[in-house]
């Protein structure tokens, strides 16, 4: 029976996502990836061209749907708000929900995707810097605008500090969502996605809207 090229391609992407997330770009070799995918080395060159191109494909096939959903939800929230600013918690929900939903669903990337994006944020590859800027700068601008409308009393430099802290909190919560039940001895359910989102939105809203530090 002929091998479906799309299936082969998907096997390579899944193996690469797992290994890049576990070991990082430099330490995950193409031989490891092709071995885990059950294909020969030439398949990577055929489907992706290079290790760098494979890495880009692995990262952006997960990142772009998250960001597209974020912008779609933000557009809906803006339409619902009409001439008024989108409420702060609504802005945060549109940003937080798409990532946490994928973190909880292995079919959408799950922990492999989270490990990968966390690595890329803490140890970005030089060949990815321009790519990441093109992907995220328009998103950051949209959310910065929405947040300045929702929090007119917070100066923009302070708001950017707080946005960075919010992103860090989101990534930690997403990566450790499955640990909550164990750590809390059953008081928090690891499968309570809506509860996690609700509490994270409240927590981040409190931080973003906190009183300004004394001069």
Which residues, 6 or more positions from 5, have their beta carbon under 8 angstroms from its beta carbon? 47
Angle between helical axes of 88-103 and 156-175 (0-180°, round to 10): 30
The yes-or-no verdict on residue 109 having pLDDT over 80 is: no
Per-residue pLDDT, averaged over 9-38, amounts to 92
Contact predicate 77/91, CB 8 Å: yes
Q: Let me know how long the chain is.
A: 215
Q: How many CB atoms lie within 10 A of CB 80?
A: 11
CA gap 160, 181 in Å, rounded: 32
- Name the CATH code of domain 62-208 (choices 3.30.1490.20, 1.10.3720.10, 1.10.357.10, 3.30.70.120): 1.10.357.10
Q: How do residues 62-105 score in pLDDT, each as one tens digit?
A: 999 999 999 999 999 999 999 999 999 999 999 999 999 888 88
CA gap 192, 151 in Å, rounded: 29
The yes-or-no verdict on residue 3 having pLDDT over 90 is: no
Q: How do residues 201-214 score in pLDDT, each as one tens digit?
A: 999 999 999 999 87
Split at pLDDT 50, 70, 90, the class of 1 is very low
3-class SS string, 89-156: HHHHHHHHHHHHHHHCCHHHCHHHHHHHHHHHHHCCCHHHHHHHHHHHHHHHHHHHHHHHHHCCCCCH
Q: How do residues 114-164 score in pLDDT, each as one tens digit?
A: 888 877 777 788 999 899 999 999 999 999 999 999 999 999 999 999 999
Burial (Cβ within 10 Å: 0-12, 13-18, ≥19) of residue 158: middle
Q: State the sign of the Cα–Cα–Cα–Cα dihedral 165, 168, 174, 177.
A: negative
Q: Domain extents for the chain?
A: 1-49, 62-208
- For residue 2, the model assigns a pLDDT of 44
Topology classification of domain 1-49:
Arc Repressor Mutant, subunit A (1.10.10)
């Amino acid at each position: 029976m002929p091998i479906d090229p799309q299936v082969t391609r998907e096997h390579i992407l899944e193996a690469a996502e797992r290994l890049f997330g576990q070991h990082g770009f430099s330490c995950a070799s193409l031989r490891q990836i092709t071995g885990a995918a059950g294909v020969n080395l030439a398949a990577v060159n055929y489907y992706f061209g290079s290790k760098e191109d494979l890495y880009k494909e692995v990262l952006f096939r997960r990142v772009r749907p998250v960001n597209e959903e974020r912008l779609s939800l933000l557009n809906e929230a803006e339409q619902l708000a009409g001439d008024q600013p989108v409420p702060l918690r609504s802005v945060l929900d549109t940003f937080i929900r798409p990532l946490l939903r994928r973190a909880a669903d292995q079919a959408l990337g799950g922990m492999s995707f989270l490990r990968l994006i966390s690595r890329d944020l803490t140890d970005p590859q030089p060949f990815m810097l321009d790519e990441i800027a093109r992907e995220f700068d328009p998103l950051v601008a949209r959310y910065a605008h929405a947040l300045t409308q929702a929090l007119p009393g917070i100066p923009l430099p302070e708001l950017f500090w707080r946005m960075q802290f919010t992103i860090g909190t989101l990534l930690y919560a997403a990566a450790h969502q499955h640990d909550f039940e164990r750590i809390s001895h059953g008081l928090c359910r690891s499968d309570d996605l809506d509860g996690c989102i609700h509490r994270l939105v409240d927590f981040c809203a409190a931080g973003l809207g906190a009183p300004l530090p004394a001069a």
